[in-house]
Structure 1
Amino acid sequence: MIDWILSLPLVPGVALLWLVVLCRAGGTYLLGRGAHRLAHRGRLARLVESPSVERAIGIVNRYGAPVVALSFLTIGFQTAANLSAGLTRMPLVRYLPALVVGGFAWALIYATVGLAVVVAWIELFLVSPWVAVLVLVIVLAVVLGLVRRRRRRRAEEGAEQEVVSPADPPGPAGMRGRSLPRSDDPASRTP
């Protein structure tokens, strides 16, 4: 089985993964773009008001398309960056090159390093299933610990921030008295 996995051609694998990421990330962008007007209602408001999306909106507005391209090299920020690009209505002439370049980097990494990790784990499992399961449990525990620590740190930072006056009427995405900034608006960028 391992020989079969290792014999798969790299170019078609990268191409398939690239197509998958273009559809997934592009769909997330389109979802954000279509949801721009509905960003102050119901479940969508909770998603847009989430700390990761609000942080991503700020970063995308500040640095633009390169953030979208680099987001493909992260875990967890990628979806928020693409959704934020759509919510802020980043123009397609800026978004598409970032999607193509970042998506290609993601596909190349997952087709090479990702596949090598999977093959190594399968080989370990064939030699010693208990050790392979133990390694998987340890990796999951470390990842969950890091996620928990990061969330705790963000919650502490959020508690320290200044409380917004309840007299201000809420706007879209929970930003009191403001609407979502547009990424193509030069005034929305911070120097």
Structure 2
Amino acid sequence: MPSFLEGLPFRWLLLALFLVVFCRAQATYWVARLAVTGASRSRWGGWLRSPAVRRESALLERWGLPVVTASFVVVGLQTVMNAAAGLARVAWWRYTVAMVPGCVVWALLYATVGFAVFWAVVAALAGSPWGVAAIGGLVVAAAVALTVIHRRRRRTGGPARLP
């Protein structure tokens, strides 16, 4: 857990985490909502048409705003779903009504077990030579994947797809 949150009473920790996730989700929504028009003509236009954004937009269209609420408990889905709501220009008040329960659940998860589990995994991996090798391998694999994607985009002139 970040040092500035350590030692806080549980209710203040919960409130702090809620405010962090609330502000982050709102910022993601508004950046996406305000950027749709201009970004389609910039280098970010490819991300707006990416498979991840299309997939999350389709989820939003199919299931509606409860998907926004559920996205807060699925790692990797939260940011894209908030952006998809902004891209779809969902009314702010509807989005916020769907987002607040997700923020509460996220804050509860991180205030109770989220940070503890994360730091336990990091400590376990970093405490052994094999753990350090695994972390190094993941960093190298991510660098290679990004390099391959970048080269494919330059070669084809469009978004790259991994095989």
TM-score, normalization: structure 2?
A: 0.71
CA distance in 2, matches of 1:60, 1:37: 20
Match of 2:116 in 1: 116
Q: Identify if the C-alpha distance between structure 1 residues 123 and 42 changes in structure 2 by more than 3 Å, giving closer, same or farther.
A: closer
Q: Identify if the C-alpha distance between structure 1 residues 138 and 90 changes in structure 2 by more than 3 Å, giving closer, same or farther.
A: same
Match of 1:89 in 2: 89
Match of 1:33 in 2: 33
Query: Cα deviations across residues 122-144 of structure 1 (Å, max 9, x unaligned)?
Result: 8769xxx633x6446647868x7
Q: How far has the Cα of 1:24 moved from its partner?
A: 0.6
Match for 2:66: what amino acid? P
Match of 1:74 in 2: 74
Which residues in structure 2 correspond to 1:9-158 (within 5 Å)?
9-118=9-118, 120=120, 130-131=127-128, 134-135=130-131, 138=134, 155=162
Query: Cα deviations across residues 44-65 of structure 1 (Å, max 9, x unaligned)?
Result: 2111012111111111122111
Q: How far has the Cα of 1:36 moved from its partner?
A: 2.4
Which structure has the greater CA radius of gyration? 1
Q: Give me the identity figure in percent.
A: 37
Q: How far has the Cα of 1:117 moved from its partner?
A: 2.1
Looking at both structures, which has the greater relative contact order when contacts are Cα pairs under 8 Å and sequence separation is at least 6? 1
User: Contact 1:71 / 1:102 at 8 angstroms: preserved in 2?
Assistant: yes
User: Contact 1:60 / 1:67 at 8 angstroms: preserved in 2?
Assistant: yes
Q: How far has the Cα of 1:98 moved from its partner?
A: 1.5
- Tell me the matched-pair count: 142
User: Contact 1:38 / 1:44 at 8 angstroms: preserved in 2?
Assistant: no
Query: Cα deviations across residues 77-133 of structure 1 (Å, max 9, x unaligned)?
Result: 1111000100101112321112111011111111111232256468769xxx633x6
User: Contact 1:36 / 1:88 at 8 angstroms: preserved in 2?
Assistant: no
Q: Identify if the C-alpha distance between structure 1 residues 14 and 137 changes in structure 2 by more than 3 Å, giving closer, same or farther.
A: farther
Query: Cα deviations across residues 1-38 of structure 1 (Å, max 9, x unaligned)?
Result: xxxx8854221111111100111110000011112222
User: Contact 1:72 / 1:103 at 8 angstroms: preserved in 2?
Assistant: yes
State the Cα RMSD in Å. 3.2
